[in-house]
Amino acid sequence: MATVKAVRGTRDLLPPETELWNRIEATARKVFARYNFGEIRTPIFEDTGLFARSVGEETDIVSKEMYTWEDRARAQSEKAQSLTLRPENTAGVVRAYIEHKLGENGQLQKLYYIGPQFRRERPQKGRYRQFWQIGAEVIGPPFAGSESPLRDAEVLEMLATLLDELGITGWTLEINSVGSSADRARYNDVLRAALVEVAPKMCADCQRRAVTNPLRVLDCKVPEDQPIIDGLPKITDSLDQESKDHFAAVTAALDAAGVPYALNPRLVRGLDYYTRTTFEFTHGGLGAQNALLGGGRYDGLSEAIGGPKAPGIGFAMGLDRLVLTLQGQEQTVLEAIYVNTPSDAYIAPLGEAQNAAALALASRLRKSGLRVELGDGTFRLKKSFEIANKLASRIVILGEDEVKSGILTVKNFLTGVQGKIPREELVTLLKKPAGEFDGQP
Ligand code: AMP
CB 64 within 8 A of CB 55: no
| pTM higher than 0.95 | no
CA of 277 to the centre of ligand 1 (A): 18
CA of 211 to the centre of ligand 1 (A): 26
Indicate which atom in ligand 1 lies nearest the CA of residue 280: 10
CA of 198 to the centre of ligand 1 (A): 30
How much is the average pLDDT of 219-242?
Answer: 92
Indicate which atom in ligand 1 lies nearest the CA of residue 321: 12
How much is the average pLDDT of 400-415?
Answer: 95
pLDDT at 336: 55
Q: Strand pairing partners for 283? A: 171
pLDDT at 333: 55
pLDDT in tens, 345-356: 999 999 999 999
pLDDT at 335: 57
CA of 375 to the centre of ligand 1 (A): 43
What DSSP string runs through 300-335?
THHHHTT-----EEEEEEEHHHHHHHHHHS-HHHHH
Nearest CA to ligand 1 atom 8: 318
Nearest CA to ligand 1 atom 23: 318
Per-residue pLDDT band at 232 (split at 50, 70, 90): very high
CA of 291 to the centre of ligand 1 (A): 7
Which of 366, 282, 327 lies closest to 18, judged by CA? Answer: 327
Residue 105, pLDDT above cutoff 70: yes
Residue 190, pLDDT above cutoff 70: yes
pLDDT at 213: 85
Nearest CA to ligand 1 atom 18: 127
Q: Which residues line ligand 1 (CB under 6 A)?
A: 88, 119, 121, 126-128, 131, 133, 270, 291-294, 316-318, 320-321
pLDDT in tens, 312-362: 999 999 999 999 999 888 655 555 555 568 899 999 999 999 999 999 999
Indicate which atom in ligand 1 lies nearest the CA of residue 291: 10
Nearest CA to ligand 1 atom 14: 318
pLDDT at 88: 97
**For the sheet containing 38-39, what is the strand order?**
38-39, 109-118, 130-139, 312-318, 291-297, 275-283, 171-177, 262-263
Phi-psi region of 170 (alpha: psi -120 to 50; beta: other; left: phi over 0): left
Q: What percent of the chain has pLDDT over 90?
A: 82
Quote the mean pLDDT of the chain: 93
Cβ-Cβ contacts under 8 Å for 18 (sequence gap 6 or more): none
